């Protein structure tokens, strides 16, 4: 079963704008990760945030984590057409190995 739920399911923006995606999950976690998937391809790891962290940055990516609300957000700044993809949050807990994914947000960045 899916652990996380991303919101919105789909997002369409213009190049240069910022994109924000949210993720909610149900159980306690060790860490939360965000992955990107281009159409019909494998997943690419973007960023990992541990349960004791509240915010993390990597290039144009900013991730926040609120464990009290069991939610996370991914912000992509200054979006590019190449950012067009599906974005998934994935949680890891317990033995910290298998990932439990949400259904994803489909981001379309229009040039």
**Residues 80 to 99: which contact other proteins by CB under 8 A?**
88, 90, 92, 96-99
CB of 15 to other proteins, least distance (A): 25
CB of 65 to other proteins, least distance (A): 14
Phi, psi for 102 (deg, rounded to 5): -85, -175
Question: Would you count residue 103 as binding other proteins (CB under 8 A)?
Answer: yes
Site for other proteins in 37-56 (CB under 8 A): 40-45, 48, 50
Instruction: State which of residues 20, 24, 31, 77 lies at the interface with other proteins (CB under 8 A).
Output: 31
């Amino acid at each position: 079963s899916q652990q996380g739920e991303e919101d919105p399911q789909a997002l369409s923006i213009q190049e240069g704008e910022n994109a924000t995606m949210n993720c909610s999950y149900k159980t306690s976690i060790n860490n939360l990760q965000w992955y990107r998937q281009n159409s019909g391809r494998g997943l690419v790891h973007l960023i990992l945030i541990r349960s004791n962290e509240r915010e993390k940055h990597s290039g144009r990516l900013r991730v926040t984590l609120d464990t009290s609300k069991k939610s996370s957000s991914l912000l992509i700044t200054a979006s590019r057409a190449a950012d067009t993809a599906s974005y998934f949050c994935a949680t890891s807990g317990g033995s910290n190995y298998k990932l439990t994914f949400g259904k994803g947000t489909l981001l379309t960045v229009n040039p």
